[in-house]
Structure 1
Amino acid sequence: MRRAAVTVVVSALAVSAAACGKAGGDKNKGTSSSSSSGTSAGGSIGLLLPDSVTTRYEKFDKPYFEAKVKELCSSCTVSYANANADPGKQAQQVSSMVTKGVKVIVISAQDSAAIKSSIQAAVAKGVKVVAYDRLAQGPVSAYVSFDNVKVGQLQGQSLLDALGSKATPQAKVVMINGDSADPNAAQFKQGAHSALDGKVNIAYEQSGLWKDTVAAQKMSAAITQLGAKNIAGVYSANDGMAGGIATVLKGAGISGIPLTGQDAELAAIQRIISGTQSATIYKPYKGEADNAAELAVNLLQGKDIKSLADTSVTSASGDKVQAKLLTPLSVTVKNIKDTVVKDGLYTISDICTPTYAAACKKAGLQ
């Protein structure tokens, strides 16, 4: 699962996964969006998501986006495709959307730099592009995401909080970052370092590429290099990688040390309940998807978007982009009810399956 730049609080957004699940088939089918409450001015909107390993994208982002478009525009259609973690495939999907006559493309780039030429080609043909969750390079019209530096800061602080008095400059921490092709990964890393540097010793740091298998390999290497008894905690940039790391820690007989994550995946919430992960970052996906849908519909209808994208950011290609930046939340065992359960991301029964019943009772969830 895998698999995640700036700030403003919104209500429940929903999706877990960086972010990571297993890639499914390419889904290019157009989804009709019709509602009696929407405007009659129609058109076609494309939604391109980066992978299906990160569970949030297809479980939450896609349906929330489609539902909001349906609410806002009775005669609009949404065409969807998933890159399945393949930048070349995503480039082809952009071209296909343009050929199909899509007028606005909302894209979460698998590789923010590699997609630049595809975005340039689409814009040259009159297509508007909204960067979703990840800031793609090129002439995009708007960007919707979270304050990703803040995400990293929250992750780092949650690790320090879990370490408590053990958080000393001598405490050895393993740091597994995301994929550098994702611009969010650098911001998560920046934020985490700002929280951790000088307070603990980051003794081993590598990229896990948003893959649980790669993160597991890196964790095994860290244990070999540092020694199992010498590791005080682990920073994982998302929940998918945290799953692989948790498996390695268990196999090495390491327990009771903090492990971070991000995306509030169900498996991560269950690990938090059972004590094998200390925290995750919840980014209410519904708010993110709703904002992206509203921007897409406004662009489709030629309306101004400044009131929706109320700040601006500059991409790695030097393009200044109007942006909507939302606020992430840290989730620990203490606030599961007040975050992911309250917002309807998961029910108690989703979390507290028979395997986790005893842990849920101890955590006060049942």
Structure 2
Amino acid sequence: MKKVFRRSTALTVVALATVSLAVFVVASATASTKHKTAGTQVCVLLPDTKSSVRWVQFDAPAMKAAFAKAGVTASINNALNDPLKQKAQAQACIAAGATVVIETALDNGSAASIEKLFTSKGGKAIDYDRQVSGGSASVYVTFDGKAVGAAQAKGVLAAMKANGTYKGGTVAELWGGQTDQNAFWFKSGNDAVFNPLFKSGPIKKGPQQFVPDWDANNAATIFNQMLVKTSNKVQGVLAANDNIAGAVVADLKAKKLKPLPLSGQDASVQGVQNIISGWQSGTVYKYVPDEANAAAVAAVALIKGQKPKTNTSRKNGSKNEPTLALPVVWITKANYTRLFKDKFLKRTDVCVGAFKQYCK
């Protein structure tokens, strides 16, 4: 993520601090005295540090706390965007005794093979945040992807209407990484809102492209090409997450162009800073600790031979995969302080330097 643009200090520090992430969660003192457990019970495989700050800032610590509270031993790993490393981490977990894997896929092929390593030996797998097509997971724990995409599209349209560029305006779209099934789920929400309007005429379909690996450097290059192709005549931008939105903002600033209606996702520090300073219209808020805790609860249920809680299903090949889909919230300049109240972000991280003047 190697075109240069400004990214949040938090992301840089986090990425450097987690070059080798492997957190072992031990049972609580009370639980360990009553139920001695050898080795590892649950293997958590997180994808990277570049596609989003969430994996390090939120998912890993939330799962660590959840498993510690449950008295379950878990190995929490980050593959740093390397499928081979992720598979090696899975094999190390199995060698340590893990029987349940919580996996965020890097690609379907390697992810499915990792799940099979567990399920072929009588273990269980959980698809976490990204569905593994053709995998063997017992449950999929995620946020409602179509709702994410719909919120993003509606946010862009609302901003276009507010600044008078809705009628006849051109919308460019930068979707997520095409190896991630979530990118297509989010896109389905984008399409549900945008496509009828493209067809009927109020807005025009602009350049559209998936961003490999959700990488911000790739996004910067792609958006720069979109601006060249349209002679800078873009009135709205669908960015699949805050990372991609940050690249768009950097390109606009570099070309001395004005802010555009722009979506995001993840409610990151950088995303909120761009929102309060007027460079990003909004971001999809997914309270990640809820998802991490739900995955931990599902893992504990599987260890006990119980059926995890679900509320819907998602098509996965020829089968319907039991799914727990969690709700999302659209965050704008009007309600961003909710993130502080929820303790999802710290005011001291967002309201610093040049951004302090914009904070309520």
TM-score, length of structure 1 as denominator length? 0.87
- Whether the 8 Å contact between 2:14 and 2:57 is mirrored in structure 1 is no
Structure 1 residue identity aligned to 2:346: T
Amino acid at match of 2:347: I
**Segment of structure 1 superposing worse, 119-128 or 150-159:** 119-128
Partners of 2:14 and 2:176 in 1: how far apart? 16
Tell me, yes or no, if structure 1 residue 148 matches structure 2 residue 153.
no
Is the aligned partner of 1:120 residue 2:120? no
Count of residue correspondences: 337
Residue in 1 aligned with 2:280?
277
- Structure 1 gaps of 5+ residues are 2-15
- 2:185 is aligned, of 163, 184, 187, to 187
* Cα drift, residue 149 of structure 1: 0.8
Q: 1:89 aligns with which of 85, 98, 106?
A: 85
The one-letter code matched in structure 2 to 1:327 is P
Q: Which residue of 2 aligns with 1:212?
A: 216
2:297 is the alignment partner of 1:294: yes
For residue 120 of structure 1, what is the amino acid of its counterpart? K
**Counterpart amino acid of residue 129 in structure 2:** D
Q: Which residue of 2 aligns with 1:249?
A: 252
Cα deviations across residues 306-361 of structure 1 (Å, max 9, x unaligned)? xx22322222x4343222110011100000123x122111132221113212122x
Q: Distance in 1 between matches of 2:215 and 2:188?
A: 20
Please say if residues 103 and 111 of structure 2, whose CA atoms lie closer than 8 Å, have aligned partners that are also in contact. Answer: no
Shift of 1:78: 1.1
1:129 match: secondary structure: strand
- The change in CA–CA distance for 1:56 and 1:185 in structure 2 (over 3 A counts) is same
Percent of pairs with identical residues: 29
Conserved? CA contact 1:95–1:122, under 8 Å: no
Q: Please say if residues 208 and 215 of structure 1, whose CA atoms lie closer than 8 Å, have aligned partners that are also in contact.
A: yes
Q: Within 5 Å, which residues of 2 pair with 1:313-332?
A: 313-315=314-316, 317-332=317-332
1:1-366 paired onto structure 2 within 5 Å: 22=15, 24-34=18-28, 36=30, 40=35, 42=37, 44-53=41-50, 54-73=52-71, 76-137=72-133, 138-164=135-161, 165-168=164-167, 170-197=168-195, 198=197, 199-209=202-212, 210-228=214-232, 230-305=233-308, 308-315=309-316, 317-338=317-338, 340-360=339-359, 365=360
- Where 2:22 maps in the other structure, the secondary structure is coil
Shift of 1:225: 0.6
Give the number of the structure with larger relative contact order, counting CA–CA contacts within 8 Å between residues 6 or more apart. 1
In structure 2, C-alpha distance between the alignment counterparts of 1:126 and 1:223, rounded to whole Å: 52
Query: Does the 8 Å contact 1:129/1:141 carry over to 2?
Result: yes
Distance 1:128 1:337, change over 3 A: same
**How large is the RMSD of aligned CA atoms in angstroms?**
2.1
- Matched residue SS, 1:36: helix
Deviations 1:214-266 (A, max 9, x none): 000011101111012x1101111011111111100111121131111101110
In the alignment, the residues of structure 2 paired with residue 36 and residue 144 of structure 1 have an alpha-carbon distance, to the nearest angstrom, of 29
CA distances 1:139-179 after superposition (whole Å, capped 9, x unpaired): 101111011011000000000000114212x2111111111
Deviation at 1:37, TM superposition (A): 7.0
Deviations 1:244-292 (A, max 9, x none): 1110011112113111110111011011011111111110111101110
- CA gap 1:37/1:353 in 2 versus in 1, 3 angstroms: farther
Q: Secondary structure at the match of 2:73?
A: strand
Unaligned runs of 5+ in 2: 2-9
Post-superposition CA distance 1:35-70 (Å, at most 9, x none):
537984756111100111111011101111111111
Kindly provide the CA deviation profile for residues 95-114 of structure 1, in whole angstroms up to 9, marking residues without a partner as x. 22222211111111111343
Q: TM-score, structure 2 length as denominator?
A: 0.88
